[in-house]
């Protein structure tokens, strides 16, 4: 079941309670622990900003960890940056790593590492992210697995003179996602990459009818050519502007004379 964040009104009431508690810092943590509901990245970051002491922020992170909603690494960066001490930022990353939806992608990993300054912290953060990462889908299956049965029997999927059930490793690598030759659709024009992302296959569709051919307007090639380029309008330069003043104060004189709707 997907967690839903706390309502805006209920969350504002919770923030007001934490902000108005000025007797002790422990009571702020107590108010947070007694609250109900889940929090998204923005709400969790706001709660951390309401706690001035770094130790209280770490305690709040442990409380918020099982109550966080799914978020991207870009959204989770606001939670990590709400912590001021660098070592505590690694703790914050460890608390949000289980709710990240793109931690296995290079872009998501880059967002997670961008909130850290020191190179050593980046290496430790990468190790933290690898604890929730699974690379099983990138492993090529060998096939031909053997299973022992009763009375010395042997069950195997391997065919005679065929080591790998799913073919050789090279052909499996070519058919895997993101590997091998890029296969374009038959209607695509070969060798044309109009996209700015040159590494992605570009599907060149037939060009659409331009807007100027559908709706002609003055200044385009589709406008009627019978309109004369030179005009005697209005026998002299008007005093207030091109479309104002006598004897034709409103409209286009040449277009009106040619009976063209504009």
Going by pLDDT thresholds of 50, 70 and 90, the confidence category of residue 178 is low
Better pLDDT: 47 or 192: 47
Q: What pairs with residue 155 in β-bridges?
A: 147
- For 50, the 3-state DSSP assignment is coil
**Does the pLDDT of residue 185 top 50, yes or no?**
yes
* HSE, side-chain direction, 13 A CA sphere, residue 6: 23
Q: Can you give the pTM of this predicted structure?
A: 0.53
Residue 106's pLDDT is what?
87
Spatial neighbors of 99 by CB under 8 A, at least 6 apart, are 68, 69, 70, 71, 76
Buried residues in 146-179 as b, exposed as e (16+ CB within 10 A): eeeeeeeeeeeeeeeeeebeeeeeeebeeeeeee
Give the model confidence (pLDDT) of 228-256 as tens digits.
545 554 544 544 444 444 444 455 666 66
* Local structure of 179: helix, strand or coil: coil
Report pLDDT digits (tens) over 31-59.
999 999 999 999 999 999 999 999 999 99
CA-based nearest residue to 40, from 99, 91, 116, 97 = 99
The dihedral over CA atoms of 111, 75, 121, 66, expressed in degrees to the nearest 10, equals -140
Over residues 81-126, the pLDDT tens digits come to: 999 898 999 999 999 999 999 888 888 899 999 989 899 999 999 9
Sequence-distant (≥ 6) Cβ neighbours of residue 205 within 8 angstroms:
187
Residue 96: its pLDDT value, please?
A: 94
Return the SS3 of 73: helix
Q: Which of 34-38, 41-45, 166-170, 199-203 has the lowest mean pLDDT?
A: 199-203
């Amino acid at each position: 079941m997907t967690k839903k964040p706390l309502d805006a009104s209920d969350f504002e009431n919770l923030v007001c309670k934490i902000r108005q508690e000025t007797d002790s810092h422990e009571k702020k943590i107590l108010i947070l622990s007694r609250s109900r509901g889940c929090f998204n990245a923005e709400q969790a970051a706001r709660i951390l900003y309401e706690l001035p002491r770094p130790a209280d922020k770490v305690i709040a992170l442990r409380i918020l960890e099982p109550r966080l909603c799914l978020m991207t690494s870009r959204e989770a960066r606001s939670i990590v940056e709400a912590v001021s001490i660098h070592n505590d930022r690694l703790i914050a990353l460890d608390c949000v790593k289980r709710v990240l939806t793109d931690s296995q992608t290079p872009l998501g990993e880059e967002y997670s590492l961008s909130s850290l300054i020191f190179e050593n912290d980046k290496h430790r953060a990468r190790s933290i992210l690898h604890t929730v990462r699974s690379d099983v889908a990138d492993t090529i299956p060998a096939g031909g697995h053997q299973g022992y049965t009763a009375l010395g029997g042997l069950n195997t999927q391997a065919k005679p003179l065929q080591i790998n059930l799913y073919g050789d490793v090279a052909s499996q690598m070519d058919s895997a996602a993101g590997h091998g030759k890029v296969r374009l659709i038959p209607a695509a024009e070969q060798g044309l990459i109009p996209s700015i992302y040159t590494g992605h296959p570009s599907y060149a569709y037939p060009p659409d009818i331009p807007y100027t051919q559908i709706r002609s307007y003055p200044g385009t090639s589709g406008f009627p050519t019978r309109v004369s380029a030179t005009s005697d309008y209005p026998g002299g330069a008007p005093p207030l502007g091109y479309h104002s003043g006598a004897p034709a104060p409103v409209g286009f004189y040449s277009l009106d004379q040619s009976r063209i709707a504009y």
